[in-house]
Amino acid sequence: MAAVKPLLTTRNLSRSFGGLKAVDNVDLDVMPGEIRAIIGPNGAGKTTLVSLICGRIEPSSGQINFEGRDITRMPAHKRVGLGIAYTFQITSIYPNLSVFDNVALPVQRMSHARVSSRGLDASVMHALERVGLADEAGKTAGTLAYGHQRLLEVAMGLSLEPNLLILDEPTQGLSDGEIENFIKLVREIGERATVLLIEHNMDVVMQLAEQITVLNFGKVLAQGTPDAIRANVKVQDAYLGTGADD
Amino acid sequence: MNGSNRAIPVWTLHIAVIAALWAAQYVLPDYHHGIIARVMVLACFAMGYNILFGYAGLLSLGHAMFFAAGLYGAGLPIYHFGWHVVPSFAFGIGCGALLALVIGLLALRTTGVAFMIVTLMFAQVGYLMTLWLGEWTRGDEGLTLSHSERIIESASVFIDLTNRDTRYGAAWLLLSVVLLITVVIARSPFGRVLVAIRENEERTRMLGFNTYANKLSAMVISGAISAAAGAAYVLLFGYMGATFAAIQYSILPLLWVLLGGAATTLGPLLGTLLMFYLAELSNDALNAWFPGANLSQIGIVGAALVLLVLFFPKGILGTIRERWLKWLP
């Protein structure tokens, strides 16, 4: 593995809100093709960390590299062009537009040449089929069940053909059956893309993650394979033993 | 399931509307003939407004400045420097586009209410400029273009814009072009991005779109179309005055668009037409019922705006689209 360069690295990455250090000197190395889970108690800085990576917010200090390029100051929409896609913790779709149009936007973003409307239709339907929403294409997105809205958001992220897909608590609010399908979907995505997964559901984390980073008070508390993390005493104290309520 | 599959009904409808407006000149009595010509020019203003307000979701309270930029941009060079009609028209549009670019660069740093206030303030500056430069514009009193200044003449063509039928034809041509531009934009990937910005800007940014650049483009297109309407107005009706830069000409396009249906291609035209006649009729009625009270139609406009926002927020075509014709662009 030593020869493979990391897809994403952060060095001394920090972000403060007022006096609060939400992310505090975080060093992260994510290898290409990896499924990396980021866990930690509420308020540990998980969402802030991935927001820095995708460019939604700017870091106070530190550096972010993606595919060997310094992207620390790059605006968010350009990072999407490099292949970083983000799905929101609180479902963020276009509730008043059709399911089809929701996915047509990222598809259109990716088609650099002018595509025919038929080509667009096919790509959109393909993305919807992957998450199992093809039958809902004509519906208004806001009328979908919550779980389906989550899947729609994943379909939007997938349509960006990302190298790095950031999923922020994707299974929150899903039923057990839906979670099972979701795990299958993420595995499938993980064959081609690198996945950064923030997740509270430890079953999902243990099934999917190849590496786990544990955050606590904005700092990296531990990092390693699922087995190593499970055995880590510090992590048990901070999180697994007490905080894993869901 | 989505707009792009419904090309045939969409184009048929718009071509039919354009054809009907052409045919109308042969059946309309004189009085209405003149009104429709005016409505068609003002509807272009509304369509320009609709690009920014309806599709991109940016509520400007200062569009009078773009209309006036076209009005004065075309009219003053003719009046003071003897320019010809065609270059003046182009210059008027250019003034509006440039102004929209500059105002957009500044105002688009804000959103929501702040954007409304910033555009309102810039428009007030514009209005006061027309008064301050009274030596050139004659302020409220305004300037009138003479008959000879409104004629396009070269070796092979002679077009007299003061002629009743020519004026109607010119207004119709402008309306047709602007309407078709609106349809193309509404159905284009760019139009889809504007709607996406209106619906959820943060999501759109995180899907990789430069929302600032897209909003700025919408602003410039909107300003250019509004200016085209202003430039056409001075050329076809021969008058420019500070009234056209005042606040009511920023409110009117908003009202027309709301009445007809925001983010519908034909809504601005329908709204302008209905509101124009409503104002005319109510003006007559008010004067008949309360002679000597000197009541203004602006009150009617205000009342209509309040009622619309309260009970009919989607406008006529917006409601029709929601209930029956989903494919309406």
Q: Where are the beta strands (DSSP E) in chain B?
A: 143-144, 151-153, 158-160, 239-240
Looking at the structure of chain A, the number of domains it has is 1
**Which residue in this structure is represented by tokens 């199992």?**
A132
The CA distance from A104 to A118, in Å, is 12
ipTM of the complex in this document: 0.86
Judged against a pLDDT cut of 50, whether residue A189 lies above it is answered with yes
* Sign of the alpha-carbon dihedral angle for A172, A174, A175, A179: negative
Contact A138 B193 (CB under 8 A): no
Question: What's residue A115's pLDDT?
Answer: 60
Judged against a pLDDT cut of 50, whether residue A246 lies above it is answered with no
Q: For residue A21, tell me if it sits in a domain.
A: no
More confident of the two residues A25 and B155: A25
Which of A85, A96, A120 has its CB closest to that of B199? Answer: A96
Q: Are residues B62 and B123 in contact, defined by beta-carbon separation less than 8 angstroms? A: yes
Q: For residue A68, tell me if it sits in a domain.
A: no
Contact A97 B196 (CB under 8 A): yes
DSSP alpha helix (H) spans, A83-175: 99-110, 117-131, 146-159
Element (H, E) at A39: strand A35-39
Q: Output the 3-class SS for B93-157.
A: HHHHHHHHHHHHHHHCCCCHHHHHHHHHHHHHHHHHHHHHCHHHHCCCCCEECCHHHHEEECCCC
Which tokens hold the place of B91? 């210059």
Question: What's residue A135's pLDDT?
Answer: 92
The CA distance from A31 to B283, in Å, is 73
Helix (H/G/I), strand (E/B), else coil: B67: helix
Contact A109 B202 (CB under 8 A): no
Q: CB-side exposure of B301: number of CA atoms within 13 Å?
A: 21
Contact B4 A117 (CB under 8 A): yes
**Residue A99: pLDDT band with limits 50, 70, 90:** very high
pLDDT above 90 as % of chain B: 65
Segment among A150-159, B4-13, B84-93, B158-167 with least mean pLDDT = B4-13
Q: Are residues B34 and B257 in contact, defined by beta-carbon separation less than 8 angstroms? A: no
Q: Which residues of A touch B1 (CB under 8 A)?
A: 98, 100, 137-138
Q: Which residues contact B127 (CB under 8 A, 6 or more apart)?
A: B64, B65, B68, B242, B245, B246, B247
Q: Which residues of B touch A98 (CB under 8 A)?
A: 1-2
Q: For residue A216, tell me if it sits in a domain.
A: yes
Judged against a pLDDT cut of 90, whether residue B265 lies above it is answered with yes
The CA distance from B322 to B329, in Å, is 11
User: How much of chain B is in helix, strand and coil states, percent to nearest 5?
Assistant: 75, 5, 20
Q: For residue A222, tell me if it sits in a domain.
A: yes
* Phi/psi-derived region of residue B142, left when phi > 0, alpha when psi is between -120 and 50, beta in every other case: left
Q: For residue A93, tell me if it sits in a domain.
A: yes
| Residue in A closest to B213 by C-alpha | A77
Judged against a pLDDT cut of 60, whether residue B4 lies above it is answered with no
| Residue in A closest to B200 by C-alpha | A94
Has domain B3-246 been given CATH number 1.10.3470? yes
**Residue A243: pLDDT band with limits 50, 70, 90:** very low
Question: What's residue B278's pLDDT?
Answer: 84
The CA distance from B93 to B67, in Å, is 9
Chain B residues within 8 A (CB-CB) of chain A?
1-2, 4-5, 189, 192-193, 195-196, 199-200, 202-211
- Residue B28 phi/psi, 5-degree rounding, is -75, 140
Which of A86, A98, A101 has its CB closest to that of B206? Answer: A86
Mutate to test the interface with A, among B207, B212, B314, B327 (most CBs of A within 10 A): B207
Give the residue numbers spanning the domain of A38.
34-56+79-240
Which of B1, B4, B207 has its CB closest to that of A109? Answer: B207
Which of B5, B205, B207 has its CB closest to that of A156? Answer: B207
**Residue B293: pLDDT band with limits 50, 70, 90:** low
Q: For residue A157, tell me if it sits in a domain.
A: yes
Contact B1 A95 (CB under 8 A): no
The CA distance from B329 to B266, in Å, is 8
Judged against a pLDDT cut of 60, whether residue B324 lies above it is answered with yes
Q: Which residues contact A186 (CB under 8 A, 6 or more apart)?
A: A35, A167, A170, A195, A197, A208
Q: What is the pLDDT of residues B187-215, one digit of tens each?
A: 999 999 999 999 999 999 999 999 999 99
- Residue B213 phi/psi, 5-degree rounding, is -65, -40
| Residue in B closest to A112 by C-alpha | B189
The per-residue pLDDT of chain A, averaged, comes to 88
Which tokens hold the place of A57? 């917010």
| Residue in B closest to A86 by C-alpha | B206
The per-residue pLDDT of chain B, averaged, comes to 90
Instruction: Break chain B into its structural domains and give their ranges.
Output: 3-246
Judged against a pLDDT cut of 60, whether residue A237 lies above it is answered with yes
| Residue in A closest to B191 by C-alpha | A105
Judged against a pLDDT cut of 80, whether residue A203 lies above it is answered with yes
Question: What's residue A67's pLDDT?
Answer: 93
Across A173-191, average pLDDT: 88
Q: How many CB atoms lie within 10 A of CB B56?
A: 26
CA angle B127, B240, B305 (to 5 degrees): 60
How near does any CA of chain B get to the CA of A76, in Å?
6
**Residue B1: pLDDT band with limits 50, 70, 90:** very low
Q: Which residues of A touch B4 (CB under 8 A)?
A: 117, 120-121
Which of B1, B199, B206 has its CB closest to that of A138? Answer: B1
Helix (H/G/I), strand (E/B), else coil: A96: coil
Chain A residues within 8 A (CB-CB) of chain B?
54, 56, 75-78, 80-81, 85-86, 88, 92-98, 100-101, 104-106, 108-109, 117, 120-121, 137-138, 156, 160
Contact B200 A92 (CB under 8 A): yes
What pTM value is reported for the model?
0.88
Question: What's residue B15's pLDDT?
Answer: 95
